[in-house]
């Protein structure tokens, strides 16, 4: 996937960017996305840019407690992280999915393709189990 530091800068809406850090974070974002889906679909550019942008905008290093007056919070650690939304979008873009139409309806029958009605399968797939007394 060819994403440049200039594209990341444009995505972030900044005019200057640390090109070495941006290139490293783009490579790491691609690797993280490939842990979910391999190979990455061409339309996954937006997800990779989003992951790299989150990493670029966050402070590198471990998280910790941040205190300001009477308020405190747990600061997240910096680095490459994929949100559930990013992972779901990658799976959707790759065409991998799960659902009721991905399981075989009976013994010895092929799985029903996603999105096609059962009538599209050749043969009498609903009659795979003989019923005693109905001959």
Q: What is the pLDDT of residue 120?
A: 45
- Phi/psi for 86 (5° steps) reads -65, -45
Q: How confident is the model at residue 6 (pLDDT cuts 50, 70, 90)?
A: very high
Q: What is the pLDDT of residue 29?
A: 93
Pair (102, 133) in one structural domain: yes
Pair (120, 85) in one structural domain: no
Pair (46, 111) in one structural domain: no
Q: What residues contact 81, with CB distance under 8 A and at least 6 apart?
A: 32, 51, 54, 55
129, part of any domain: yes
The residue range of the domain holding 132 is 97-135
Q: How confident is the model at residue 71 (pLDDT cuts 50, 70, 90)?
A: confident
Pair (104, 125) in one structural domain: yes
Pair (2, 51) in one structural domain: yes
Angstrom distances, CA of residue 53 to CA of 11, 101, 123:
8, 36, 51
Supply 50's token pair.
């989003």
State the average pLDDT over residues 43-57.
91
Residue pair 33/82 in contact by the 8 Å Cβ criterion:
yes
pLDDT tens-place string over residues 74-123: 666 667 888 889 988 988 888 765 554 455 455 555 555 555 445 544 55
Q: What is the pLDDT of residue 94?
A: 84
Nearest one of 97, 123, 91, 89 to 108, comparing CA atoms: 123
Pair (13, 38) in one structural domain: yes
Q: What residues contact 114, with CB distance under 8 A and at least 6 apart?
A: 97, 99, 101, 102
Supply the pTM of this predicted model: 0.60
Q: What is the pLDDT of residue 96?
A: 67
Q: Compute the residue count for the chain.
A: 135
State the average pLDDT over residues 1-29.
92
33, part of any domain: yes
């Amino acid at each position: 996937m060819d994403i440049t530091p200039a594209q990341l800068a444009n995505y972030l809406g900044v005019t200057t960017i640390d090109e070495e850090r941006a290139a490293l974070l783009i490579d790491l974002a691609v690797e993280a996305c490939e842990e979910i889906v391999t190979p990455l679909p061409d339309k996954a550019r937006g997800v990779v840019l989003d992951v790299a942008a989150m990493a670029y905008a966050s402070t590198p290093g471990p998280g910790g407690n941040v205190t300001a007056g009477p308020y405190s919070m747990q600061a997240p650690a910096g680095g490459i992280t994929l949100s559930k939304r990013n992972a779901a979008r990658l799976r959707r873009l790759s065409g991998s999915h799960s659902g009721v139409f991905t399981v075989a309806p009976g013994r010895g029958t092929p799985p029903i393709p996603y999105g096609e009605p059962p009538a599209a399968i050749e043969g009498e797939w609903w009659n795979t189990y003989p019923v005693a007394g109905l001959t």
